[in-house]
Amino acid sequence: MPARDQIENDDDIALTEEAEEIVEESASEELDQERLQQVLAAMQGEQNFQLGTSAGLVAALVGAVIWAVITVATEYQIGWMAVGVGFLVGVAIRKFGRGVSAKFGIAGALLALLGCILGNLFSIFGFIGAQEGISPLSVLFQVDFGIAIELLKATFSPMDLLFYGIAIYEGYHLSFRQITQEELLERYHAASQ
């Protein structure tokens, strides 16, 4: 059985290929498999999923507002804003969640998508507010959820899928740390002291 399969927590730790080789080699006499498992378990113990997802949600909301402000100010939807939302969400989750497992990436992908949808929706509210002479916040509180869905459908473009996809990828990829060979060995040797 590979060493990483013996870790008690069933989270899948994100290791680079070089770090994966170290874990696989730990079954040999060169590395103490028990100590390596303790190092990996300690990395998992440093994770904070709740804080990471909370920070990701805040980043998604901030990204959506920035997206809407720029879209309304320029009167042009810039698809690359979605990439920025995915980046903000991913970095926030990684920094605050210190995740090393895939569940952080999944949360990042979902929150990046939410940020993109809200960015489009907030932009629509901004345009409606400007046209009606009221604040976008007033529009937000007056619009029914069903109408909001219809507004999103009416303004949807197939190109949105491309940018949403990139944002989802960024949100996933950036939300958890890839443990490098150097980091794993450094922690392994520090645990032996």
Are 134 and 82 contacting, i.e. CB atoms less than 8 angstroms apart? Answer: no
Q: What is the pLDDT of residue 183?
A: 82
The reported pTM is 0.82
In order along its 193 residues, the chain shows pLDDT tens digits of 344 444 444 456 777 676 677 666 655 556 677 887 888 888 888 999 999 999 999 999 999 999 999 999 999 888 889 999 999 999 999 999 999 889 999 999 999 999 999 999 999 999 999 999 999 888 988 988 899 999 999 999 899 999 999 999 999 999 988 888 788 888 888 877 6
| DSSP one-letter string for 134-160 | S-HHHHHHHS-HHHHHHHHHHH--HHH
Q: What is the pLDDT of residue 27?
A: 53
Q: What is the pLDDT of residue 10?
A: 44
What 8-state DSSP symbol labels residue 179? B
Between CA 176 and CA 84 the distance in angstroms is: 17
What is the separation of C-alpha 143 from the centre of its chain, rounded to a whole number of angstroms? 28
Q: What is the pLDDT of residue 179?
A: 81
Are 65 and 122 contacting, i.e. CB atoms less than 8 angstroms apart? Answer: yes
Give the three-class secondary structure for 5: helix
Q: What is the pLDDT of residue 37?
A: 82
**Partner residues linked to 101 by β-bridges:** 13
Are 181 and 22 contacting, i.e. CB atoms less than 8 angstroms apart? Answer: yes
